[in-house]
Each structure stands twice: as C-alpha cells, then as structure tokens.
Structure 1
Amino acid sequence: MENIGTYIIWIIMACAVAGAIASLRDEEKGLGGEFITGLHSIGPIFIPVAGIMAAIPYLSKFINAVFGPLYNALGSDAAIAATTFIAVDMGGYQLADALAQTREAWVIAMVTGYMAGATIVFSIPVGLAMLDKRDHKYMALGVMAGILSIPIGVFVTCIITMVTNVQVRDIVSANADAAYVLALSLGGILAHLTPLIIFCLAMAVGLWLVPSIMVRGFLAFGNTMTATLKLVLVFSIVEYFTGAFSTILGGWGFDPIIADTVDQFRALEIAGYIGIMLCGAFPMVYLIQKHLARPMEAIGSKLGLESNGAAGILAAAANILAMFRLIGDMRAKDKVLCIAFSVCAA
C-alpha cells in the first residue's frame, strides 16, 4: 500500500517523457502541448504560492491570536486552528507542534491541515489562478461543498488511527523512532473537531438558504486573497533585490521567497517542483481522456458523471492541479462534484 504513491510518480514521469518526445513534433496541441502547458503553469502557480509562503509569519501570528483563543474556548486546541488555515507542508506542521497542548491534538491538527489548510492556502488561490473566470462560481460551490465533509474526513481518519493503535514520532523529525502511542478517545476527537463542525454547519445552512450570497462571499474572499498575495509577492521581490523595506522600516518580517541557507525549498522551488510534476501529470490526464474514454464513461455512469467527470475524479486522487486542467471540459455538475471531491481526497 505504501508504494502506491511511488508507482503513480513513475507513471507520471513516463508520461512526461512521452510528452517531451511528442513536443518535438508538435508543442501546440496533443500530448506535446500538454507537456509544455504543464511547464508553463509554473508562473501562475508561483504567484499565490509565493504570496502565501512569504506571509506565513504574519499569518501564523494572526491565526494564533484571533482563532487560537476561540478554539480553546470551545474545548479544542489552538494547533487545530493553525492547520485549519495553513497547510501542513507550508508551515502548519511546525506551528501546530509549537501550539499543541498534547501530542494527540498535534496529530488531529496534522490531519486537519491535509484537508482544510491545504484547501484554504493552496487549492483556493491556485485554483482561481488556473481556472477560467467562468468556472470560478463552480469552484466556489465545489470547495464549499467539499469543506462540509472535512470534519467527517478528519473524524474517520482519527478513528482509524485510534482503533489501530498507531505509534507516531512525538517530535518534528524525519528519522526519529515512532514510539509514542496515541491516547485518542471518541470524546476527545469530537471535542477537538467542535469548531470545525460549527463552521461547517453554518456554511451548510448558508448554502441551503442563501446559496447565491455564499458564492459571492466566497469569490470576494478569493479575490481579496489573490490581490493581497500579489502585493505581498511584489513587495517581497522588491525587498529581495533592493532591501528597501528593511532599510526604511528597520526590518522585514516576511519569509524569503527564494532558497537561502536557512531553507533550500521555498516558494520558487515549490512552484518549480509543481511545474515539473505537471509536465507529466497533464500528459497523463490527456492519455486517460484519449485512450480510456469508454472505461471512464462506464465508471462515470455509475457515479452520475460523464467521462470527463470520471477522469477528473481519477486525476484529483493523484493531483488536484491535474484535475483543474480538466474542469473546462466538464459540464457544470461534474465541475462541482470533482472540486468537492478534491477537498478531502487530493
């Protein structure tokens, strides 16, 4: 089971090679075009990724100060507040470690970050950047519908962890012994998830009573986030080349966006990593659409999806950005379903 991810990577890399060879003949369309498009996606992806990662220090302080006390008051943990908004691999893991009152809360926060945090700081801004504006309303509905399932996804994951008596590392490390036995309980899990449950119930009521207002609110949130991230990015670029803000203000609290001696895998490197992965993921999706259309139609019919929708579900299970590539070819219903699925699955 643990090798499934490795197998998928090898398949994507094989598709990248096939796409590169095809691009030698035609880089405008077909398999070669998908290879080139994957590489060209680095630019649009870099804008939101760089803005978010640069702003992590201030974002962390804001979440801890505003949402941390609220989560604690509801019987949860400030660590879960952190990963509700910040993805695990964008600083949420370390921040949750610093805030968590127990190792159990830390692990629950980590699971939350894979679903909620990744959606808010990555999927939303990157999706808005990659998708055609005509599809933004479908993304809004899909993301909000998907968010409703996050408490269920976290709950099920934690229950499985509790039942199987999983041992984990009790420190942030890649090679320490996994010797800590989690003392999860049903009541403890539900208590930690209380703020998320309340938020999702409120969102469900809003979608039921005033769906158009909810969509407009989501788009306003997304557009405000996009504008803010662009400003953070350009100021970070100015600071990198001139040091102007450090000179004028006496300091610069944002994180660097380019690798340095402290961290060799920052925003520019992450955007590049995503792009070189997509140069294989996009050709893979193209090949699935072209050569597996009938199986996709058969699977889709059982799920109430068209073939492109079924391919989107398959793509989302591997990489949400590969799924975004298919959104333009789907009918409205399938767009919403695929995006909703990707919130917890991608």
Structure 2
Amino acid sequence: MNTIIMWTMAAGAVIGGVDKIFGNRLGLGKRFEEGFLLLGATALSMAGIICLTPLLSMLLKAAVVPLCGRSGLDPGILGGILAIDMGGYQLSMELAGTPAVGRYVGIVIGATFGCTVTFTIPVGMGMISGKERPLFAKGMLIGLGMMPISLLIGGLSCGLRVMEVLYLTLPIFVLSLMLMAGIRFFPDHMIKGFGYFAAGIGFLTTLGLIAGAVEYMTGFQILKGIAPIEDAMAVVSSIGVVMLGSLPVAEMLRRILEKPLNWIGGKTGMNGNSVAGLLMGIVSPVPAIAMMKEMDTRGKVVNAAFLVCGASALAAHMGFTYGTEPELVVPLLISKLAGGLCGAGAAVLLSRKGGCAD
C-alpha cells in the first residue's frame, strides 16, 4: 500500500511538472510549484527544533524521565506534545523505551494531538474573528472528543496491543480533557496561553537555527550536543519532494470529488465553502481556517472538528512520515482520516444548520 501511495504521489509530480512546463493549462503546475515553495516556511518552523532535539532529550531524561519511570509510563509520550514535524517525532524516538512506542507517539500522536496543540489551535484562534471563535472552539471540543478513536486505530495499525495503546495514551486523553475544559470555560485565557506556548516554540526553533547555522558555517558550537542542521534540512527536503506530487494529487481529488461532496454538503446542510474547506484541510489547515468567515454555522464547526485529526494528512505529515518511517504512511493516513471523519460526523450531529457568515 505504501508503494501504491508513493507511486500515486510520483504520478502527481509528473502531471504537475508537465503542466507547469506547458504553461499551467490545467492549474496543476501551480500546485506543483507551491509544493516546493513551501520548503522555506517548513524549514523555518521545524529545522531549528529538530537541531535542538538531542539537547532537549538530554534535559528531559534528567528531569522528567525518572518520574515517568516511577509511574510506569513510557517517557516517549512526552514527544507527543509537539507536532510530528516540529520535533515531536525525534523527541519521542530519543525518549521512548522501545522503537515501536517512539514511532507510534512521534508519528500518530504527534500528527494529531501534537499538531492540534502546537499549530491548529493557536493559529486558528489567532486567525479567526471573535464572533467565529465559539464555533471554532466547539469544533475543537468535538474533534478532541473523537481523538481517542484516531489514536486507537493508529496504535493498532502500528502493531501495538489495545491495552498497550490505551495505557500509553492515557496522559494524552487527560490533557485532551483539560484542553476541552479550558476551551469551553476559559477561551480567552486559552488563547493567551497558546500564544505564549507558540512563542516559546518559535524561540526554540530560532535558537536552534542560529546554533545549527553557525556550527555549519564555522564549526563553532554555540550549543553542544545539537543535531547538524544538514540532517534537519534533509528531513525538510523529503517533505518538499513529496509535496511536489501530493498537492497536485489533492487538487485532482478536489475536482473529482467536488460534485459528490457538494451533494453531501447539501444533504448535511453545509454550503459549498464549508465542503471546500474540508478538502483544503487535508492539505493544510491554514486555507481552511482562512475560509471560515465564508462558511455557514455548521460548516465552521465541522471543519474545526475535522482539522483536529485530519489536518495536513496528504501533505506535510505524509511527506514527513515517508522521509522518516515510510512503513507508517498507511497507519498515519488511516488514523488521521478516521479521526477527522469521526470528528466531522459528530459535528454534523451536534451542530445546527444554516447561519451563514457575513
């Protein structure tokens, strides 16, 4: 299955590249180009934190890992707090007691819970207007509530046992409940808190980039024990290469599924922008969040719920996984899409129709 997926992405790269050569007549050449242009933003957001991962691992091993040992929890779970492509995978692999646990936490949990905490919630709360925040927050609540389904499916797909997955992810479930309570009862404080958290991640990322760049160019170590920046850039480059094909493929899927999804949207009471947002969210949460002002009430809630698990499934997260753990591409996609669809389905049932935005 992994081979089929990657050949599909390769075909997308060929089609997109050829279309670019002939003047972007099909509109796929633009997507091909966008995939590679995202390399800069991707590198800025993740290369530095990857450089710092060995150092962070040493600090956590000294400060937190002993506590995990006494409680019986695998310390690799700490990596799940960060997004898969923001150091979560590397940190999980450094801390986990077994490689299987590290892969599950770093890939599956990092791509769902970690991405939601470090990116989707802070970016979403910052981008949308005040009147849309309650709907976005409601969607986040529903999506977090459905996340255990995604994590269970992902864990089983990774070869772990049911009880092992449940026990391993217990801290994530607790944190999810805390997030749900915070979003529900203290939304303004949560926005500030996530802002501080995002600023802290940004600081560490920039610090890692500075240290890695100086060491690469001069050999002088500002911070001893960090990973070489060229190793971090190799991971970033693998994501960019996959996105050369994944973005054209996602665009073709959007066109193929446009009519049936619009039909589903009509049956579920969502407008065209709401349905389009779901397709965009599979590639990146940013355009989906930006479109929320054009969605109806139900669409805003459904899209937010879908993004908790489904965000970036066919772009950055798949590209990262292929570059680090290619055999986990299928488990990643299964867990993310299952969780996203469960979240969207629950949101349809728990939200009202209509209420188009201005």
- How many angstroms does 1:45 deviate by? 0.5
Q: Which residue of 1 aligns with 2:346?
A: none
Q: Which residue of 2 aligns with 1:35?
A: 32
Q: Which has the higher helix share?
A: 2
Question: Deviations 1:52-89 (Å, cap 9, x if unpaired)?
Answer: 21011122123333433443444423233345547498
- How many angstroms does 1:123 deviate by? 7.1
Q: Which residue of 2 aligns with 1:274?
A: 239
- Cα separation, 1, equivalents of 2:203 and 2:110: 19
- From 321, 336, 349, the counterpart of 1:345: 336
Within the alignment, does 1:194 sit opposite 2:170 as a pair?
Answer: yes
Q: Which residue of 2 aligns with 1:113?
A: 106
- How many angstroms does 1:156 deviate by? 5.0
Indicate if the aligned counterparts of 1:306 and 1:334 stay in contact, CA closer than 8 A.
Answer: no
Q: Which residue of 2 aligns with 1:211?
A: 187
- From 202, 206, 209, the counterpart of 1:226: 202
Distance verdict in 2 for CA 1:221–1:321, change over 3 Å: farther
AA of the residue aligned to 1:340: V
Q: Which residue of 1 aligns with 2:304?
A: 336
What SS class does the counterpart of residue 41 from structure 1 fall into?
A: helix
AA of the residue aligned to 1:91: Q
- How many angstroms does 1:90 deviate by? 3.6
AA of the residue aligned to 2:310: S
AA of the residue aligned to 1:345: K
- Cα separation, 1, equivalents of 2:305 and 2:77: 27
AA of the residue aligned to 2:244: C
Distance verdict in 2 for CA 1:14–1:190, change over 3 Å: closer
AA of the residue aligned to 1:281: S
State the Cα RMSD in Å. Answer: 4.0
- From 44, 47, 53, the counterpart of 1:47: 44
Indicate if the aligned counterparts of 2:122 and 2:198 stay in contact, CA closer than 8 A.
Answer: no
- From 277, 285, 291, the counterpart of 2:250: 285
Distance verdict in 2 for CA 1:35–1:24, change over 3 Å: same
Distance verdict in 2 for CA 1:185–1:43, change over 3 Å: closer
Within the alignment, does 1:57 sit opposite 2:54 as a pair?
Answer: yes
Deviates further, 148-157 or 109-118: 148-157
TM-score by length of 1: 0.69
Q: Where does structure 1 lack aligned partners over 5 or more consecutive residues?
A: 169-181, 259-265
- How many angstroms does 1:278 deviate by? 1.3
- From 220, 228, 238, the counterpart of 1:256: 228
- From 151, 154, 159, the counterpart of 2:151: 154
TM-score by length of 2: 0.67
Distance verdict in 2 for CA 1:136–1:31, change over 3 Å: farther
AA of the residue aligned to 1:116: I
Q: Where does structure 2 lack aligned partners over 5 or more consecutive residues?
A: 312-334, 338-358
- Cα separation, 1, equivalents of 2:199 and 2:267: 36
Indicate if the aligned counterparts of 2:13 and 2:32 stay in contact, CA closer than 8 A.
Answer: yes
Distance verdict in 2 for CA 1:33–1:92, change over 3 Å: same
- How many angstroms does 1:285 deviate by? 2.3
AA of the residue aligned to 1:115: V
